[in-house]
Amino acid sequence: MKTVAIVSKPVKPELRQIVPELVGWLRQHGYKVITDRETCEYTTSECEAIDRQALASLRPDLLIVLGGDGTLLSAARAVAPLGTPILGINLGSLGFLTEVPLEDLYPALEAVHGGQGEPDNRSMVHATLMRGDKVITEHHALNDVILSKSTIARLVAFEIFINKEFVSSYRGDGLIVATPTGSTAYSLAAGGPILTPSVAGLVISPICPHALTHRPVVVPERVEIEILVKNADEEAFLSIDGQIGIPVLQGDKLVCRKSPHVTHMLRLRKTFFDVLRTKLKWGQK
């Protein structure tokens, strides 16, 4: 019996109808169903619930995400070591990653149950925050790793090194290291380029740089990026996919590399450019 995990965005009233019907469909088709604790609250029958961060311990064969891209990002990090295929059902607004609209939920499930769906493999970035010789924290991110100032802090200064070679000094509101998937997120808003998911690269995008000549840079994914924080004054933060925040001190070093983990999305009909045209309204009058 294959196991399907369901995670959902909390406080979505429509889940009271969606989740019981979905659980019923899955069980009728021979699947064992597990959920995160937030989703279990919407079921009408007993369910096996577990903290989202521990989903990988149950080794699901498929992960269904009911929500927006933020929900999918947290779910992707949870199962990244397994490479579990993810089907994203969009209950949000933009939805670059959760591309399947709610009305197509069951046709999509029928397709997946029948062995259809193209794998859409997304690279991740691994970030390690160092304080001297001590590792403060390390995380894998599907979208991006961001070093930024707090709301009222002054400009933060950074030095960037690629494979130990000095690149430049930056002063501004922050820096983004984005994967190709994350190139359509905060990096895009900061003026960065859009990378197709198959591009083997990372984007370094300054956020509101003090010098207008500082522009986004695309580097090969195999390089090691080091960012040295020069004057944080306890007012800078490291953000992982915009969801995990860690205070950063002056002298801290952020090291970013390609993650050994890959997020496996399931794409049914739309191509990457179909999604771009829909979400960014390209070619529409």
Whether pLDDT at 90 is above 60: yes
Give the residue from 241, 222, 227 showing the smallest Cα distance to 129: 227
Which of 69, 120, 144, 241 is labelled catalytic? 69
pLDDT in tens, 172-225: 999 999 999 999 999 999 999 999 999 999 999 999 998 888 999 999 999 999
Q: Residue 32 above 60 pLDDT? A: yes
Our CA angle for 44, 93, 113, nearest 5°, is: 50
The residue-averaged pLDDT of 30-48 equals 89
Q: Is 108 exposed, middle or buried (0-12, 13-18, 19+ CB in 10 A)?
A: buried
Lowest-pLDDT range of 48-52, 93-97, 203-207: 93-97
Q: What confidence tier does 151 reach under pLDDT thresholds 50, 70, 90?
A: low
Lookup result for tokens 């209950």? 91
Alpha carbon 236 to its chain's center: 21
pLDDT band at 233 (very low <50, low <70, confident <90, very high): low
Domain 3-117+268-279, CATH among 3.40.50.970, 3.40.190.10, 3.40.50.170, 3.40.50.10330: 3.40.50.10330
Q: If you write DSSP's letter for every residue of 80-146 in order, what string do you get?
A: TTTT-EEEEEE-SSS-SS--EEGGGHHHHHHHHHTT--EEEEEEEEEEEEEETTEEEEEEEESSEEE
Q: What is the pLDDT of residue 152?
A: 66
Reported as a single tens digit per residue, the pLDDT across 107-121 is: 999 999 998 888 899
- Say what the pLDDT of residue 218 is: 97
Token pair belonging to 67:
């929500």
Instruction: Specify the amino acid at residue 103.
Output: E
- Cα(72)–Cα(69) distance, rounded to whole angstroms? 5
Q: Is the dihedral of CA 131, 250, 244, 68 positive or negative?
A: negative
For the chain, give every domain's residue range. 3-117+268-279, 124-260
What residues have CB less than 8 Å from 72, skipping those under 6 apart? 65, 86, 88, 97, 98
In terms of Cβ atoms closer than 10 Å to its own Cβ (0-12, 13-18, 19+), residue 1 is exposed
Q: Which residue has the higher pLDDT, 115 or 127?
A: 127
Q: What is the pTM of this model?
A: 0.92
Residue 89: predicted pLDDT: 94
- pLDDT of 283 higher than 70: yes
Instruction: Find the length of the chain.
Output: 285
Exposure b/e, 111-141, CB count within 10 A at least 16 = b: bbbeeebeebebbbbbbbbbeeeeebeebbb
> What pLDDT, on a 0 to 100 scale, did the predictor assign at position 1?
73
69 is catalytic: yes
Instruction: Reply yes or no on whether the pLDDT at 10 is more than 80.
Output: yes
Q: Which CATH class is domain 124-260?
A: mainly beta
